[in-house]
Structure 1
Amino acid sequence: MLTARSVPAPDRTVALVGLMGAGKSAIGRRLAHRLGLPFIDADIEIEKAADCSIEEFFDRYGEAQFRAGERRVIQRLLDGPAIVLATGGGAFMDPQTRMVMRERAITIWLRAELPVLIERVGRRTNRPLLKQDNPEAVLQRLMSIRYPIYAEADITVDSRDSPADRTTDEVIDALAAFLHTNTPAGAAS
């Protein structure tokens, strides 16, 4: 019998969703390493496809065009082999993107409380949605809008103010339990 910490790589993409600052990239890199899968950050792939930064894209074309491009990039990534995918904070909010992710990936919501998010997003200055207003007020508003949708993810893991390796262990444990319950071999045992 496999232990939760030795979960084999799933046969489909593991997509991390959550607000900016939840740890999707930091946890995603560690998770990919532990699962033996490639790690891809959707935001970096979007920047490559657009040949500009996300901040520049927002400034030039607005959020609606950004979300359309994000949808195309995520669809392309999900059409490929299994990876660990860190998505942007708004990706799972798009109904079409969410539907494709739910069909082709195992979705994991990294849920974080407001104080953790405030501390983490304060480390970077390239967050377009936080340049418009008070970052704490923006995050609070986004939490009230997005958390009910993020809750539709297959798995929820709390991203606390603790070492990323500890959160990665919790993600591995939750993923192992999910795979055990949702695969024919696991369901039969």
Structure 2
Amino acid sequence: MNKRDGRHLEAAVTALESQEPRNALLAALGERVRSLRSRRGLTRKAVAQAADVSERHLANLEYGIGNASILVLHQVAGALQCSLAELVGDVSTSSPEWLLIRELLENGSEADLRKARIAIGELLGTAAVDPGRGRRIALVGLRGAGKSTLGRMLADHLTLPFIELSREIEKFAGCSVREIHDLYGTNAYRRYERRALEETVQIYGEVVIATPGGIVSDPATFNELLAHCTTVWLQASPEEHMGRVAAQGDLRPMAASQEAMEDLRRILDGRAAFYSKADLRVNTGSKTLEQAFDVLRATVIPALTA
């Protein structure tokens, strides 16, 4: 896309944002597309390319203006790695039992829903009953939160092995994370990610794990992490995340975006609700490395001895 086309698209999107949606259903569909895109950390341009539709068409869809065909929705669902049912509706409409369960949970608070999720896990035998869970520490959060640096420091302090899950994924695939995405796609990457986590949990009873920022994008993998590890969300502001990643000389995954900061905010907004399911939280913002580590150590050690 040349600069002129880019300006035209930006003006068109701004115009769309100022309009009232024509239809509540289209508005809800657009919000769902935006939410799924943010959760997966994808730019509108990346989704449009993967779905083989124009950015303008996707912008229309996201802002409740475009009445997309089923074929286009199918293509967009594929680009977002979700089912068409998840994109356009609610899987809990698939059976009477789903409907009854949804009715029970629909107005529940986050705390009540968490209790229900744990209770269902216990009922189905998938709850966090792993006796080694308390000695496996997994750090979650966006790139630039300090997972690798602080995780290695914590592992040294506790005399535990340190595993950077991205490196384990690359070992399974035999190539870099970027090459996995380029050659095989996001779905293949998620399979390698799940396999790497399962093997790490199986091998190590005590370990500190730095997880990829997008591990929350796959509910099955994130459930596995919650079940077998004490999870810690390393938090920071979008500006701090961006500054730290830029300082490392790496702007992935925002390099192709002309509005990198806005993209990062959307990614954080899309993932924050999942990161918040972690057992512990540590805010690394406005802290030196030593100060952030002191807070992390003070937060984690009592949880290990509880």
| TM-score range relative to shorter protein | 0.7 to 0.9
- From 69, 74, 77, the equivalent of 2:200 is 77
1:177 corresponds to 2:302: yes
Q: Indicate the SS of the match to 1:160.
A: coil
SS in 2 for 1:153: coil
TM-superposed deviation, 1:177: 3.2
Tell me the TM-score normalised to structure 1 length.
0.84
Q: 8 Å contact 2:143–2:241 — kept in the other structure?
A: yes
In structure 1, the residue matched to 2:280 is 155
Equivalent AA in structure 2 for residue 93 of structure 1:
S
Q: What CA distance in whole angstroms lies between the structure 1 residues aligned with 2:185 and 2:250?
A: 15
Aligned mates of 1:135, 1:30 — CA distance in 2:
30
Determine if contact 1:91/1:98 at 8 Å carries over to the other structure. Answer: yes
Give 2:300's aligned amino acid. L
Structure 2, unpaired ranges of 5+: 1-132
Structure 1 spans left out of the alignment, 5+ residues = 1-9, 184-189
CA displacement 1:111-137 (0-9 Å, x = unmatched): 110111110111345554223313212
Report 1:119-130 matches (<5 A): 119-126=243-250, 128-130=252-254
**Counterpart residue identity of residue 57, structure 1:** I
Describe the SS at the equivalent of 1:173: helix
Q: 1:38 to 1:179 in 2, by over 3 A?
A: closer
- Partner in structure 2 of residue 31 of structure 1: 154
Match of 2:172 in 1: 49
Instruction: Select the residue among 192, 197, 211 that pairs with 1:87.
Output: 211
Aligned-residue sequence identity (percent) comes to: 34
Count how many residue pairs are aligned between Structure 1 and Structure 2.
172
SS in 2 for 1:75: helix
Query: Which whole-Å CA distance do the structure 1 matches of 2:161 and 2:152 have between them?
Result: 8
Which of 227, 231, 235 pairs up with 1:107?
231
Q: SS of the residue aligned with 2:212? A: coil
Task: State the secondary structure of the residue aligned to 2:234.
Answer: strand
Structure 1 residue ranges (4+ consecutive) displaced by more than 3 angstroms after TM superposition: 124-128
RMSD: 1.7
Supply the distance in 1 between the matched residues of 2:185 and 2:249 (Cα, whole angstroms).
Answer: 18
Match of 1:17 among 140, 143, 155: 140
Decide whether aligned partners of structure 1 residues 13 and 179 sit closer, same or farther in structure 2, where only a CA change above 3 A counts.
closer
SS at match of 2:224: helix
Partner SS for 1:140: helix
- Corresponding residue for residue 181 of structure 2: 58
Q: CA deviation digits over 1:129-178, x for unaligned, max 9?
A: 22331321221111110011100000000012422222111111111333
The one-letter amino acid paired with 2:267 is L
- Bigger fraction of residues in strand: 1
Q: TM-score, normalised by structure 2?
A: 0.53
Q: In 1, Cα distance between the equivalents of 2:242 and 2:251?
A: 12
Task: For residues 6-31 of structure 1, give each alpha carbon's deviation from its aligned partner in whole angstroms, at most 9, with x where no partner exists.
Answer: xxxx8521000000111100100100
| SS at structure 1 position matched to 2:278 | coil
Aligned residues of 2:254 and 2:263 also touching (Cα < 8 A): yes
The answer as to 2:232 corresponding to 1:144 is no
Q: Greater Rg, structure 1 or structure 2? A: 2
- C-alpha spacing 1:110/1:160, structure 2 compared with 1 (3 Å): same
